[in-house]
Structure 1
Amino acid sequence: MHIALTEEQTMIQDMAQKFAESELAPVAAELDQSKDLALFKTNLAKLAELGFMGLNVKSEYGGVEAGSVAFSLAITELAKACASTAVTTSVTNMVAEVIQAVGNEQQKQTYLPKFCNGEYLAGGFCLTESGAGSDPSAMKTTAVKDGDEYVLNGSKIYITSGEIAGCFVVWAVTDATARKGKGISCFIVDAGTPGMTIGKREHKMGQHASPTNEVHFDQCRIPVSALLGEENKGFAIAVGELAGGRIGIGSLALGIGLAALDYAKQYCQDRQQFGQSISQFQGPQWMLAERYTDMEAARLLLMQAAFLKDQGQAFATSASMAKLFAADKANKAVYDALQLLGGAGYIQEYPLERMARDVRITSIYEGTSEIQKLIIARDIFA
């Protein structure tokens, strides 16, 4: 693996950092409290204009075609300022990659430019159901073929960007007689399609600015042309794209962890106790030394997974390792950073309280830490 970043990767990282500092950081606390959707959408539109919604999309469809390493770097920088914006950017890129990977030429020409130019502010990834979370192959949503249409029935839950997505990739059972996981297909469903309704915004612990919704399908008719890839072979699409999504969520966790440590470091330098800066005491020094080491290890794991993906090599296990480590260590980093602030860390005037709520979900979505361990273990014993 070549550690040094290319000129393009460095440029994207710098651009993301500058945007995060100038546009996201000043309003992150406000967005957390107000959930101002108009302001949130404004920032998403600006990110699309800068190319961040099509980082791994080919240039012929309006994308940047920068690769997974650049994607990881960008999500990390955005997450340092606003986790809600970072997760929306990550999932939208994932939806675009699904369409690019398995869509036909007409589908790619129709949808990909809309993500890249900001016509679609976000994309929805409709996989999880109330009875099919860690085991998505147990989904109950169905798509029954009726002439030149499919009829969708069922519900999806915890869908990031549900109320602002321009389109959704949706998984449904198309062959109920097939063995588990083998009769599932993937479809593109446009926002506003009759029969599809978006549920209320969930009241979440963190990442408040990013809307999370249920998506319901009741006799929702979509054309046969909405099928992505081959019928009954959609589950493999989900498994493959979740692996790439884990690079995004691991990078998001890394960004939050680093931001928390940076804030705590400055606080320790400024805070006086017992006649000196608390940064002079071994306890805070060692806490920060351990957590920064964790974050550097997480960064290297993420870079390895992204590099393998860019090289067209098997990367699923590396992505699971990176996501597992980054999410768990970022949670530890944020809580240690909050501890270093003492009582101030528990007060909303300081950002650590928000970061503690925002980082918690990273060990749950795109596959829990426990599921990542299963994936890694299966590879070890294969």
Structure 2
Amino acid sequence: MTVERTLHTPEAKQLLELTREIVDKELTPRAAHDEEGGLFPRDVFGVLGGSGLLGLPYPGEYGGGDQPYEVYLQVVEELARGWLAVGLGVSVHSLSCYPVAAFGSEEQRAALLPDMLGGDLLGAYCLSETASGSDAAAMTTRAERVGDGYRINGAKAWITHGGRADYYTLFARTGAPDSGSHGISCFHVPAGAPGLDSAAPERKMGMSSSPTAGVLFDDVRIGADALVGEEGRGFGIALAALDSGRLGIAACAVGLAQAALDAAVAYSRERRQFGSAIGDFQGLGFMLADMATQVAASRELYLAAARLRDAGRPFGKQAAMAKLLATDTAMRVTTDAVQVFGGYGYTRDFPVERYMREAKVLQIVEGTNQVQRLVISRHLAREGG
């Protein structure tokens, strides 16, 4: 099913058409096979970079697309519709670019962003640790001043592209151990730095083509020019990046839910019982109607948040709302899609069981949905309701 879009420029329309062409010709045909084999589609990110789709929300002077976030997110949604591992990978890569693009020096932007946005380099975002997931301020990975640079020791956990990335956007403690959120700094660390290694990939219930692994830092030495932004101000950088990253996850969730809805609607028209297509039965037809409504509502919520971001207005609360609604919707819609398929939906002969397994992680990454509710409630308390 082709979703009607409200696009304000011919260029944006062309970008969506190009994305759909790549999805239909290159992603959808190989997604099930590569997921089954746990194959990481690194080549796809090169194709996306070469097509100008990997740096859409970033400045054109550094190789980006100069596109509003509203357009970028719709591209992410389309990619996730075809293959969630790719849509999520683009969202995470964009997240890893944000600190350099928004807080880096002119020298850092000129030196790093062209390869990051052009697809030559794939990034990872190193914030979480085994004992400090949602409580990021409790991190223990440390970067100590040594001469004219830093020495890093510690470990990060649950890192998308861990062990496969070309660079890591790292958040590490530079202040005292009890300095909380005030003693954290941001660094750009090349994957080839001596002492940097990765743990074995996690064995997950879904998203097998998206590698997730711990990243280990054992006396990793980096120069002072690897510091992004001011020392001790990294926590603010991390939070600013996560607000945008949550919108990326919301777009991924809508794309996955749309794929499940499309599959369920198509099957309901083909499958016949008691002499009629099963979609003609009110019980199933109402289920499909609810699924379509939830997908459409989730899409409009992430787009509304993106418009606030594009206008330079606060959007943190709306980003949390969009992530919460869209990922809960993805879980509900993919589960209902399995139900529409009946016994066939529980087999790997059809894609909906994979969609259902993949949807679960979206309620966890970029802050669990319980954390999103906490973020929203705190905004409401500050606003006086």
TM-score (normalizing by structure 2): 0.96
Distance across 2 between alignment mates of 1:286 and 1:182: 51
Question: Per-residue displacement from partner, 1:203-225 (whole Å, max 9, x unpaired)?
Answer: 11111111111100011111011
Instruction: State the SS of the aligned residue for 1:201.
Output: coil
Aligned to 2:146: 146
Aligned to 1:288: 288
Instruction: State the SS of the aligned residue for 1:168.
Output: strand
Question: Bigger shift: 43-52 or 5-14?
Answer: 5-14
Q: Does 1:365 align with 2:365?
A: yes
Aligned to 1:58: 59
Instruction: Give 5+ residue unaligned stretches, structure 1.
Output: none
How far 1:56 sits from its partner (Å)? 1.1
How far 1:178 sits from its partner (Å)? 5.5
How far 1:4 sits from its partner (Å)? 5.0
Instruction: State the SS of the aligned residue for 1:129.
Output: coil
Q: Which amino acid aligns with 2:156?
A: K
RMSD: 1.2
**Correspondence 1:1-382 to 2 at 5 A:** 5-37=8-40, 40-120=41-121, 122-176=122-176, 179-382=179-382
Identity %: 38
Please say if residues 9 and 69 of structure 1, whose CA atoms lie closer than 8 Å, have aligned partners that are also in contact: no
Instruction: State the SS of the aligned residue for 1:208.
Output: coil
Distance across 2 between alignment mates of 1:210 and 1:177: 33
Question: Per-residue displacement from partner, 1:190-245 (whole Å, max 9, x unpaired)?
Answer: 01100111221111111111111110001111101100000001000001100000
Please say if residues 8 and 66 of structure 1, whose CA atoms lie closer than 8 Å, have aligned partners that are also in contact: no
Distance across 1 between alignment mates of 2:268 and 2:334: 15
Distance across 1 between alignment mates of 2:350 and 2:6: 35
Q: Which amino acid aligns with 1:334?
A: T
Question: Bigger shift: 126-135 or 106-115?
Answer: 106-115
Please say if residues 101 and 113 of structure 2, whose CA atoms lie closer than 8 Å, have aligned partners that are also in contact: yes
The list of structure 1 runs, each at least 4 consecutive aligned residues, that deviate by more than 6 angstroms after superposition, is none
Please say if residues 260 and 333 of structure 2, whose CA atoms lie closer than 8 Å, have aligned partners that are also in contact: yes
Please say if residues 184 and 231 of structure 1, whose CA atoms lie closer than 8 Å, have aligned partners that are also in contact: yes
Please say if residues 39 and 208 of structure 2, whose CA atoms lie closer than 8 Å, have aligned partners that are also in contact: no
Please say if residues 92 and 123 of structure 1, whose CA atoms lie closer than 8 Å, have aligned partners that are also in contact: yes
TM-score (normalizing by structure 1): 0.97
The number of residues matched between the two structures is: 378
